Amino acid sequence: MARRPLPRILSNGSDRIVRGRELARSAADSATDVLHPLITITRGLRRLAAAGRHRWSGTPKDRRGPLLFLLAAIVLAVAFLPFGPLLATITLMAAAAWHGRDRTASRPAGPDAAQTKRLQSLYEALVPYFSVPEDPAPLFTHGGEWSKAFVSYAFDGTGRISQLTIRYPAYFTDGDAASRARIEQLLHTKSGRGREYRFEWDEEGNQLTVTVLPPLSADIAAQRFVTAPGETVLGFTDPAGVQRTLPVISGTQGRDVPPVVWRTGVRSTEPHLLAVGGPGSGTSTLLRSIALQTLRHSDVLIVEGGGTGEYACLAGRAGVLAVECDLAGALAGLEWATHETERRLIAMNRARQAGQSAPDDTRRPLWLLLDRPTVLGQLAASEGRRDPQSLLQVPLRHGRAAGVTVVVAEQFDGMESLTDLVRQHTRARVVLGPASAGQLEAVLGTLPPTTPTPDVPAGRGYARLGTGPVHRLQVPATPDPYDEATSEVHRQAVLNLLPKRTAPAETEADAKPANVTVVMTKDGTGAEAGAKVTAEG
């Protein structure tokens, strides 16, 4: 029996469909090329109309009438001008063509030969850490394809890696701190030293993202920050670290920067702070910045153990109870602070029992700023006196309820001399200046997610509030205005923030205002030492 041929529509119908699709695609491409100017202008008109509607909705109702009158006047003026409508139409079409242009970013080209060599070298360096002999299909092998392991990458203008996302095997022990530290150290070394890197580990997706961080701005001087009472700006950090920005003046321009805000008060979980750094790291700058911010609504007692006169500019100022540089004055001032804390607690407890609000003389916060107290402790031990740190027991334990905040600044070589009481109650921590990984972990309780650089400006370091994340920190430039090496801009910035003088600096020890109380104490030899401090809240 002869085989009947298939219908022609079934035998060559697919070819006709393919040819039809190609013809339709060619016609559409040709039409798009021909009508591209019209499409661009139409898109631009639509965007201009959307912008006009948004501007009109954002205009207050009391200003819409004058705005309509102004637009009508412009339309009439253009209509009566020679060639006015034609020029207006040309201007509108040009604006529409500009706003309707294709803004799609061009796809980045692949890496060049030098960049490919760098990526391959980095891939080979990771092979011993991301592969095991038992893996039947290893992701990292010598001579393998780096494109399978590197999800995304970016290079800076110098040809070095600025961003890299690495996919690693699931059996890698990413929960082990030592294993992660080895990988981070390797990437830091191979990608280029002298820069600061942030490492973000995604344990669920088995990915590691390496990002090169730009240096923090060090040109922000001391100024009045927009903060609420009880908030203190320790410095500024990366935009990704916090969800808040503050307007600041940097040089002659204003901009918004993300701050590291420390909150104190009754509801604070970190009522006291410890700042540690090396010589010239900026711990005294941090204390001066805190003092200038808190003097707007608090009283401040300063104890300087270094004896360098870093806080002479605050002596005799309104709100500054005393600036003590010797052992006798420090002991007297801290003993008064202990009694003042107890007095506040008793007064507030009695007011609560009576169903009343806290007395007015207990509401004004009191700040105790101690710079290098271990130096005074060594001097007290040699003379057989009491360690000034022992007088911080009551302010540290009960300061939050009484409105007393303690800030201690110490150098790394004096960390061993700090008492356990100071270490336990100073939950807000700051590390400034160059520091090793062991020193950072000892102070902050954990390693920061970034690699520290060996050379950093003064006031540059890390901050951690309680058990929160570790933030990069740059303290506002708050130098001693009496220092000859200080720039005139920073000097004037500090002088403008200083409160008014209540007594001349040279006669401060002889002056006794009407609202001071003389607190007497006995030293180890029986001699009396006095310290005049303000007891008025």
* DSSP assignment letter at 477: B
Q: How far apart are CA 197 and CA 199, in angstroms?
A: 7
Whether residue 282 is annotated as binding a ligand: the answer is: yes
355 labeled part of a ligand binding site: no
Indicate the residue type of 371.
D
- Spatial separation of the C-alpha atoms in residues 197 and 202, rounded to whole Å: 16
Question: Tokens 């927009």 — which residue?
Answer: 226
Q: Which two tokens stand for residue 505?
A: 């600096």
Say if residue 277 carries a ligand binding annotation: yes
**26 is an annotated ligand-binding site residue:** no
Quick one: three-class SS letters along 329-384? HHHHHHHHHHHHHHHHHHHHHHHHHCCCCCCHHHCCCEEEEEECHHHHHHHHHHHC
What whole-number distance in Å separates Cα of residue 25 and Cα of residue 18? Answer: 11
DSSP characters for 200-213?
A: EEETTTTEEEEEEE
The CA distance from 95 to 478, in Å, is 49
For residue 477, give the nearest of 469, 468, 485, 486 by alpha carbon.
486
Q: Confirm whether residue 175 is marked as ligand binding.
A: no
Compute the CA torsion angle 297, 473, 396, 225 (nearest 10 deg).
Answer: 10
DSSP 8-state code for residue 450: B
Q: Where are the alpha helices (DSSP H) in 210-303?
A: 283-294
Residue 280 annotated as part of some ligand binding site: yes
Alpha carbons 221 and 459: distance in angstroms, whole number: 11
Point out the annotated binding site for ATP.
277-284
Point out the annotated binding site.
277-284
